[in-house]
Amino acid sequence: MNKLVITALLTLQMLASNLSSADEAQTMPLLPDSPMTKEIPTTEKEFANAINNFTKEEIIAQLGEPAKAEDVKLKDSGKIVASIWYYHNINTAPDGSYYPTTELDFIEGKVVQVVYMNNDGSEPQETDKNLEPPVLEPAL
């Protein structure tokens, strides 16, 4: 896993842990008969919008164990700060075809990011090393 992904996950964890109790009090709980509590959708957009309302246990109950799972741990304490799960052929693209791999990134037991991949997720994809980095304009 590259350092950028780990940094992003740790940043999201810090932001999530800094929520005030006032912010949490304004969060509406899911109603028991809410469709999101019943079944995880499989279409791309609906899945991405709904999956963070499910716990890891609920996801496993509906989708089964992930094909691959990785934990991101702090070096000094070994504490798990994030998890990455990979599923195969569970989500459909707008044209009805299946994405080969869906990656779910968890922080504190909740999905914080969904990535659809057109590969099996086993190896990092090769990049063109001859590309020039973009030229960034200075901020005004």
Q: What is the pLDDT of residues 76-96, one digit of tens each?
A: 999 999 999 999 999 999 999
Q: How far apart are CA 40 and CA 46, in angstroms?
A: 9
Residue 87 in contact with residue 63, Cβ under 8 Å? yes
pLDDT at 99 over 60: yes
Q: 40 pLDDT exceeds 50?
A: yes
Answer yes or no: is pLDDT of 6 > 70: no
Task: Label residue 132 by pLDDT band (50, 70, 90).
Answer: low
Rounded average pLDDT over 63-84: 94
Torsions phi, psi of 18, nearest 5?
Answer: -95, 10
Give the 3-state secondary structure of residue 59. Answer: helix
**Domains, in order of start, for the chain:** 3-18+43-117 (3.30.1450)
